Amino acid sequence: MNKELFLRKKFHAGNEKGAILIVGLLVILVLTVLSMAAMMSTGTELRIAANDRSAKEVFYTAEAGLEDARSRLQTSATAFPLSDNQPTNASWTAFIGPEERAQAKGYQASNSNQVRYDKLNSTSMDYVVTVTHKVDASNNILKWGDGNYDGISEENTTSGTPIYIITSEGHTSTGATKSVQIEAVQAPPITAPAALYTKEVTTIQGTSTNVLGMDGCGGANVPGIISMATVSQNGHPMITGSPAAIIEKSPMNIDVKKMINQFKTKADYSYNVNSATLTGMQWGNPTPGGTQQCATSCSDHNIVYFNTNSTYVKLTGQSSGCGILLVEGDLEIHGGFQWYGVILVTGSIIFTGGGGKNVTGAALAGANASADLVGGDANIVYCSKAVNNQTNYMPLVTLRWAEIFG
C-alpha cells in the first residue's frame, strides 16, 4: 500500500510539472507573438514616419523650386534674374536646375527658344523647374490685365503681362519625387490712360497749373485729361497731351474702387479717419526735377491707404510720398505736396492753396462727389515709369496652384 501510494503521488507530481511546462511554453509563445506584433507595428510606424518625412521633404523641395522661379521672374530681382526676353514667343521655355535634370524635361542647349539657369539653392535641394508662357487653344499667349478698364484684371490676349506656368519637380536622395505647379504673373501696371482721369465735371484753374500728358519719362504720351463729363478752364492753365490735350465725355468707365481694392490689403500704411486733416506726412522723399513741370524721381515704393468712411482726408504742410496713394472718399491737398507714383481716389481730388504741388505719375478720381477741382499752383506730370514701377516691385501674383500626381 505504501508503495502504491508513493507511485500515485509521484505520478501526480509528474503531471503537475508537465502542466506547468505546457503553461510556461504557452506564456512564452504568447509573449513571443506579442513581441513580434509589437516589432512589426513599430517597423510599420517607422516606415510610415520615414515615408511621411520623405514626402514632406520632396514636397518642400519642389516648393523651393517654385519660389526660386518666382523670385527670379520679379522685375526688381537682383540675384540671378530670369529674364523673359521673348514675351511674344509661345515656344519660349526657361529651365532652372542641373543640366541633366533639365535635359530630362526637354532642354536642348542648341534651341534658341530655351534658356537654362543654375539653381539658387545649388547644393542643399535637388529640383528642376520649367517656366513657359500660358497659351490658349490657338497658341496665343495669355496675359493678365484690365483690358476693358473695369478695374478687374483677367485673362486676355491683348493687354497686361504674360501669365507664366511654373512647374517644379523635387527629388530626394531616397528616390522620391514630387511635382507642383502654379500659374503666376507679374502684377500688371495700373491703368492710367491720362495724366488725370475723372468721372464728374472737372475744373482746371490757375495760370501756374499744369496737367501734362506728354510722358516726362520718355515713354508713350497720353492725353492730359480724360473725363466722362466736361472739363472747364479758368485762368489759362497749361494742359498738354496726345492724341489730344483733353478728352471730354469719354465712355471709358474705370472702376477706381475695384482698383483700390486690389492694393489696399498690401498697404504699408493704413489709416481709418473721418474728415481728418494731416500735416507734414512723409511716405518717401521724391527727388525734384529741374522745374516744377519736370518729372521727379524716387526709389521708394509705398502703398498708403486711407479709409475716410465716405468723408475726406486733407493733407497739408509739405506732405510727400512715393508709391500708390489710395483714398476711399475725397482727397484735398493744401499747400506744398510732392508725390511720385499713382493717386487713386474714389471721390474728388481737390488742390488748393499755394506752395507748389507736384504729382509725377498719374491721378484717377472715381468722383462720387459733384466736382473734381484742380488748381492752386498744381502740376500733374504724366510719367509712365512712375506708374509702372509701383507694380514692378511687387512679388509675382499666384493665380492658381496645383499638386501633380502620377
Q: What is the pLDDT of residue 302?
A: 95
Q: What is the pLDDT of residue 241?
A: 96
Beta strand extents in 119-160 (DSSP E only): 126-133, 143-145, 154-156
For 147, half-sphere exposure in the C-beta direction (CA atoms, 13 angstrom radius) is 11
Go through the chain and tell me how many residues it has: 406
Contacts of 175 by beta carbon, 8 Å cutoff, 6+ apart: none
pLDDT by residue (tens digit) across 127-139? 999 999 999 999 9
Q: What is the pTM of this model?
A: 0.74
How far, in Å, CA of 127 to CA of 172, rounded? 9
Q: Are 178 and 60 in contact (CB under 8 A)?
A: no
Once rounded to an integer, what is the mean pLDDT over residues 81-99? 93
Q: What is the pLDDT of residue 5?
A: 53
Q: What is the pLDDT of residue 369?
A: 42
Contacts of 355 by beta carbon, 8 Å cutoff, 6+ apart: 318, 335, 336, 337, 377
Q: Are 236 and 207 in contact (CB under 8 A)?
A: yes
Q: What is the pLDDT of residue 7?
A: 47
> Chain-wide mean pLDDT for the chain?
86
Q: Are 165 and 181 in contact (CB under 8 A)?
A: yes
Once rounded to an integer, what is the mean pLDDT over residues 324-344? 94
> Of 37-51, 93-107, 217-231, 390-404, which range is least confident?
37-51
pLDDT exceeds 80 at position 19: no
How far, in Å, CA of 202 to CA of 110, rounded? 59
Helices and strands, number each (H, E), in the chain: 4, 25
Q: What is the pLDDT of residue 282?
A: 96
14 pLDDT band, cuts 50/70/90, is: low
pLDDT > 70: what percent of the chain?
Answer: 88
Once rounded to an integer, what is the mean pLDDT over residues 297-322? 93
Q: Are 195 and 213 in contact (CB under 8 A)?
A: yes
Element (H, E) at 358: strand 357-365
How far, in Å, CA of 156 to CA of 326, rounded? 26
pLDDT exceeds 90 at position 227: yes
Q: Where are the domains of the chain?
A: 71-190+394-404, 196-392
pLDDT > 90: what percent of the chain?
Answer: 53
Q: What is the pLDDT of residue 289?
A: 84
122 pLDDT band, cuts 50/70/90, is: low
